[in-house]
Structure 1
Amino acid sequence: MADLDIVIVNWNSRHYLRGCLDALQAAHDEDAGLIRSVTVVDNGSSDDSLDGAAHERLPLRILRNRDNLGFAAACNQGARGGNGNFLLFLNPDAAATAAALRLPLDFMARPGNRKVGICGVQLLDDAGHVARSCARFPTPASFAHAALGLDRILPARFPRARMAEWDHGQTRAVDQVIGAYFLIRRPLFERLGGFDERYFVYFEEVDLSYRARRAGYVSVYLAGAPAWHRGGGSSDGIRARRLYYSLRSRLLYAFKHFSAAGAASVVLLTLFVEPASRVGEAFLRRSPRRAAETLKGYAALWAWLPRYLLLGRTR
């Protein structure tokens, strides 16, 4: 019996969504007992993303939002109404074969893997190279390294959260798998209340993975089931806004999971130190445009933070 519900959140990803759905239809045709449902949540796209999205042999439903509700909120929206024991959150710029769906399900269904709550797979980029798709949970120290630019200047001494030093050639337990392919047990997802919708985009899967770990479950990276992931997708053209949302989600994560002192250190470094290091790096690369985008992203962050601290507003 099909036991997998797939949720795809789309925002102006017209060039990728069709390929994602084509791959899922091929997987469904190959293994008819695999997919219970596919839900596409369109977050107020303006690029006619849903033109040609219908796939008559795929158990597909499409939810249309007038506005962009954010990735976490749209994921929760798409998850509601399904009843499979497993939920897969799949990016529209990803493509999964039947094997990339079946093997993780079989792995998690083994009696000895009952405490594997989340599973990711090997993701291949445009050139067929294995992407570095797993990460460590962030800490105040790791955020400090990022703010100071140490993880970019001396990556061997100050490794980034993303596990770039590991070739991702072996199956292993990890802190977090990337949200482009994020398979989770539905009972665990519902027990944890789904994604925290205060994260508009970025860090929502980190937060959920951390809460799953605290609940006694592990995340596993499965090396033997490759899928394709282009990366970047719908956010390629909005770098300043992307930086703002990433920094904002960083602060939300720090407020939620760190001590008061740890969160304060992250805020101070993010607001007062990192802008200078990022702008300096941009000029060293002779990229005034990147410097301008950096300043624009930080201006948005500075405008948001007082509203959040005083009123608790994340929008």
Structure 2
Amino acid sequence: MDIETTPQDGASRLKLVVVIVNYRTADLTIDCLASLSVPGTVPDGTRIIAVEGGSGDRSAELISAAIRENRWTNAVCLPLETNGGFAYGNNRGIEYAMANFGRPDYVLLLNPDTIARPGSIARLVEFMDGKPDAGIAGSRLEHPDGKGQACAFRFPSLANEFESEAKLGPVTRLLGRWRVAPDMPREPSTIDWVSGASLMFRTEVLEQIGMLDEGYFLYYEEVDFCMRAARAGWSCWHVPQSRIIHLVGQSTGVTRHVKPSRRPAYWFESRRRYHLKHHGALYSALADLSWLCGHLAWRIRLFAEGKTSSGPPHLLLDFIRHSGPFRRV
């Protein structure tokens, strides 16, 4: 497929590149592109790369047709032959943008199952412009009715591996300072990591720590990226003034239904990769034990209260199968 390219004029610095990775969600990607076309939503001159991640369907054709028909001249569709995952697709989009349009000030990773509210991306850029020490910033993610979603988090730890599974009021209060998703204020605030559904970073960060780790197929790649940036001295921020509608799970299928679907093997593999990479084998084993103890505590509570689980089916079995010493080689 031919892709129209117009290299950036050297006299005008490229402010922002937006990368959207599509996998069998062409309709969602087109809606996302349409939201970015609303005047004032992105800075003037922004380039948008819709990466078609080897869907094996008509996604590339449909997205390219929508770009032409709507005259979204700042957007292109980049079809890939391989579905290499979230990091792989975003890296290819970033490489394409830099090769064809030059180095931007910022790159925004945006999920296809998002709708940018008017002005939302421009506000994130304005924040970054005014905060030179901020390497990464994430938007407030919300449902269509405006209700907020968890989108800014603390790094995984032994304490929050237990707390996030136990779901016990006293435990949550006791371990509140380590809770994965803290209550966020209404003003911009520092946080360990932000959701990859709308994550902006300076290209200086990319030049210092490297691209997204393609060893993660899906999940934990943004946690890894934010951890590497933090260790390099960059701060990460949650910016609630940048409001993005997130149609939760529509791009992955993992949480799109009322009852969550079975958690895929690559979630467990990504979690294990993160712990091993950043903390080593002993810590990884302790994290598995902490998660397991928390999950069993939650199951005991459900049994005592006569309730059934509303979480992903076969979660305990899948955890044992894919994690720690029980993992199949």
Give 1:38's aligned amino acid: I
Unaligned runs of 5+ in 1: 308-315
Q: Which amino acid aligns with 2:122?
A: R
Question: Equivalent residue of 2:186, what SS?
Answer: coil
Cα 1:185–1:241 change in 2 (3 A) is farther
* 8 Å CA contact retained: 2:288, 2:324: no
Residue deviations 1:64-104 (CA, integer Å, cap 9, x gap): 23332011111111110322121000000112245212122
The partner residue of 1:33 within 27, 35, 44 is 44
1:153: Cα distance to partner? 8.0
Residue 72 (structure 1) aligned with residue 93 (structure 2): no
Find 1:139's aligned residue among 154, 157, 182. 157
Cα distance in 2 for residues equivalent to 1:282 and 1:34: 54
Q: 1:297 to 1:281 in 2, by over 3 A?
A: farther
- Across the aligned residues of Structure 1 and Structure 2, the Cα RMSD in angstroms comes to 3.1
Q: Provide the C-alpha distance between the structure 2 equivalents of 1:138 and 1:192, rounded to a whole number of angstroms.
A: 20
Offset of 1:230 from its aligned partner? 1.5
Quote the Cα distance in structure 2 between the aligned partners of 1:287 and 1:58: 49
* Residues in 2 aligned to 1:206 and 1:78: alpha-carbon distance in whole angstroms: 20
Amino acid at match of 1:145: E
Q: Are 2:124 and 1:104 aligned? A: yes
Distance 1:223 1:290 in 2: 29
**Alpha-carbon distance in structure 1 between the residues aligned to 2:313 and 2:152:** 29
Partner amino acid, structure 2, of 1:41: V
Q: Please tell me whether the aligned partners of residues 164 and 180 of structure 2 are also in contact (alpha carbons under 8 angstroms).
A: no
The change in CA–CA distance for 1:80 and 1:151 in structure 2 (over 3 A counts) is farther
Q: CA deviation at 1:44?
A: 2.4
Letter matched to residue 53 of structure 2: N
Distance 1:286 1:10 in 2: 35
In the TM superposition, structure 1's runs of 4+ consecutive aligned residues that sit over 6 Å from their partners are 278-283
CA distance in 1, matches of 2:150, 2:254: 22
Measured against aligned partners, the alpha-carbon deviations of 1:168-196 in whole angstroms (never above 9, x if no partner) come to 42211111111111000012113211111
Task: Supply the AA of the counterpart residue of 2:321.
Answer: A
* Alpha-carbon separation, structure 1, partners of 2:326 and 2:175: 29
Distance in structure 2 (CA, Å) of the matches to 1:280 and 1:108: 46
Q: Go from structure 1 to structure 2 and tell me whether the alpha carbon gap of 1:277 and 1:53 turns closer, same or farther (over 3 Å shift).
A: farther
CA gap 1:31/1:154 in 2 versus in 1, 3 angstroms: closer
1:84 corresponds, among 104, 128, 134, to: 104
TM-score (ref. length: structure 1): 0.81
Letter of the 1:236 partner, please give it: G
The percent of aligned pairs where both chains have the same amino acid is 25
1:232 and 2:249 are equivalent in the alignment: yes
Code of the aligned partner of 1:114? P
Would you say 1:252 and 2:273 are equivalent positions?
yes
Q: Which runs of 5+ in 2 are unaligned?
A: 1-11, 98-102
Distance 1:288 1:231, change over 3 A: closer
Distance 2:302 2:56 in 1: 31
Secondary structure in 2 matching 1:26: coil
Matches within 5 A, 1:1-315: 1=12, 2-27=14-39, 33-35=44-46, 37-46=47-56, 48-54=58-64, 55=67, 56-82=71-97, 83-97=103-117, 99-110=119-130, 113-146=131-164, 149-150=166-167, 154-159=171-176, 160-163=179-182, 165-166=183-184, 168-236=185-253, 242-270=263-291, 273=293, 276=296, 285-286=307-308, 290-292=312-314, 295-296=317-318, 298-300=320-322, 305-307=327-329
**Who is 2:8 aligned against?**
none
Distance 1:253 1:215 in 2: 17
TM-score by length of structure 2 reads 0.78
Give, in whole Å, the separation in 1 of the partners of 2:30 and 2:302. Answer: 35
SS at match of 2:190: strand
User: Does the CA-based 8 Å contact 1:100-1:227 persist in structure 2?
Assistant: yes
SS of residue matched to 1:33? coil
